[in-house]
């Protein structure tokens, strides 16, 4: 079972609450970085905190949620060592893990329904990094991160 770090803005709050219960029911442990209501907030603090938990080894993977998931993905990706992927379908969730070794999943709560969000989480958590030629590319991304 995994330790999953969550972060969201107000638009992602309700889906976050649902997904926390969903992954806990599956036996995973959750670290919740907020937000903790539907009151309007700025997402960078919450989503970068979820990414820092992954970077620092406090969590195995992260999940960030917002209206579209775009800004939340960007905020998480500002954390060195995070490879956050916006996945609003099963294919991108699988490819993000298999080919990019993504360690943070971003979902748009105004784009994806609850049932599909559960499936995306299952695919993301259940897919391993393929390695091989993809490891070379992930290493190149890491080198770019170090350079800039």
Q: Is 72 tagged catalytic?
A: yes
The SS3 of residue 113 is coil
Q: Vertex 2, ends 110 and 140: CA angle to 5°?
A: 75
Query: Among the options 10, 58, 99, 134, which is catalytic?
Result: 99
Q: Is 33 tagged catalytic?
A: no
Instruction: Determine the distance from the C-alpha atom of residue 5 to the mean position of all C-alpha atoms in its chain, rounded to a whole number.
Output: 8
Spatial separation of the C-alpha atoms in residues 134 and 2, rounded to whole Å: 23
Query: Among the options 33, 36, 58, 72, which is catalytic?
Result: 72
Q: Which of 20, 27, 100 is nearest to 64 (CA)?
A: 20
Instruction: Determine the distance from the C-alpha atom of residue 145 to the mean position of all C-alpha atoms in its chain, rounded to a whole number.
Output: 19
Both tokens of 47, joined, read: 């989503």
Place of tokens 């993504």: 102
Catalytic residues: 72, 99
């Amino acid at each position: 079972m995994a330790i999953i770090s969550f972060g969201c803005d107000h638009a992602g709050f309700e889906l976050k609450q649902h997904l926390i219960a969903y992954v806990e029911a599956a036996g995973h442990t959750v670290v919740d970085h907020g937000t903790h209501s539907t009151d309007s907030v700025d997402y960078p603090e919450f989503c970068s905190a979820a990414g820092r938990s992954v970077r620092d080894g406090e969590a195995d993977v992260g999940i960030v949620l917002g209206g579209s998931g775009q800004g939340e993905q960007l905020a998480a990706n500002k954390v060195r060592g995070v490879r956050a992927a916006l996945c609003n379908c099963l294919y991108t969730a699988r490819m993000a893990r298999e080919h990019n070794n993504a360690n943070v999943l971003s979902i748009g709560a105004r784009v994806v329904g609850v049932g599909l969000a559960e499936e995306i989480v299952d695919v993301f958590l259940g897919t391993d990094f393929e390695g091989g030629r993809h490891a070379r590319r992930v290493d190149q991304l890491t080198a770019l991160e170090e350079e800039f």
